[in-house]
Amino acid sequence: MTLRDLEVFSAVCDTNSITAAAEQLHISQPSASQVIADIEKEYGVRLFERFSKKLYITETGRLLQDYARHILFSFHDMEDRLRGSGIMHTIHVGASVTIGTCLLSIITQNFNRIQPDIRIEAVVDNTSIIENQILKNDLDLGLVEGNVHHPKIVTTPFMDDELVLVCGKSHPFYGRKVIGKKELANLDFIIREEGSGTRELFVSVMNANGISWAANWVCNNAEGIKNAVAAGIGVTVISRMLVGKETAAGELYILKIDGIEFKRKFNIIYHCNKYLTDPIRQLIDSCIL
């Protein structure tokens, strides 16, 4: 199997069509079909099932797709370095919302002190989306607050975090030092969307304690949630580091829950087949603040 074969196979996976892959690579459709057929014959496997003129990747195909992405990336990265093209090397980083809001700029500054010529390109989204982009090799590293479930992803904790229950000035709980577990069932919660690490932790702790709860709003960004809580629309459970300014100003108030804590780890994640260059390793070290 050649690198060109892997490129053809990857294009078929990405487009879910041999015809579209051939057009993308500027080759004929029969040539692209032959590459797939040759790989399947050489290894005695089935990469795609074909039903009603549509392609469905098999488990073996997914295995090859996983390797192909990383082999092709490493090869093209090697070529760029050997050619010395002068292109600024870039590290692609994904961060979930809390980390992207509170820590990513500090981590980037620390890294730029030791590697001023290397650019960090970042995306901020929820944990499940960052996880998916790591699997597709769209990102070199992820910095996430949620649990990562895929066995192909390496996870390394780098910081502790705590979620806290907060309310606004107009809420009847404002100023109370402690509330009981049972009182949580009567609150209107403003929570993050599905796929968020914050939501996953909140739901798991509430379920573990047998507490029913109701979502008043679902919001995919921290600022929207804080504004809604400050306006008295509901309460939320959010990272303590996201509400420092608002609690200091008295706009939001942290409530202690008797017998319940929401604690977690922030994690560095990358694909198990990822080649970690020296700059990537230095960036990982920069995450230890």
Q: Over the chain, what is the mean pLDDT?
A: 91
The residue behind tokens 């907060």 is 166
Question: What's residue 54's pLDDT?
Answer: 86
pLDDT in tens, 237-264: 999 999 999 999 999 999 999 999 999 9
**Helix, strand and coil in the chain, % to nearest 5:** 45, 25, 30
Q: From start to end of the chain, where are the E strands?
A: 48-51, 54-57, 90-95, 119-124, 141-144, 153-168, 178-179, 188-191, 214-218, 236-239, 252-257, 262-271
Amino acid at 208: A
The CA-based dihedral angle spanning residues 200, 204, 206, 212, taken in that order and rounded to the nearest 10 degrees: 90
Q: Quick one: average pLDDT of 74-87?
A: 70
CB neighbours (10 Å) of residue 135?
17
Q: How confident is the model at residue 186 (pLDDT cuts 50, 70, 90)?
A: confident
Residue 74: predicted pLDDT: 80
Q: Is the pTM of this model over 0.85?
A: no
* pLDDT higher than 60, residue 86: no
Task: Reply yes or no on whether the pLDDT at 79 is more than 80.
Answer: no
Share of the chain above pLDDT 90, in %: 75
Residue 122 · residue 93 · CB < 8 Å = yes
pLDDT in tens, 93-119: 999 999 999 999 999 999 999 999 899
For residue 289, the model assigns a pLDDT of 64
pLDDT tier for residue 87 given thresholds of 50, 70 and 90: low
What's the pLDDT at 223? 94
Please give the domain boundaries of the chain with CATH numbers for all domains: 3-83 (1.10.10.10), 90-159+265-286 (3.40.190.10), 160-263 (3.40.190.10)
Band the pLDDT of 85: cuts 50, 70, 90. Answer: low
Roughly what angle, to the nearest 10 degrees, separates helices 18-25 and 29-43? 110
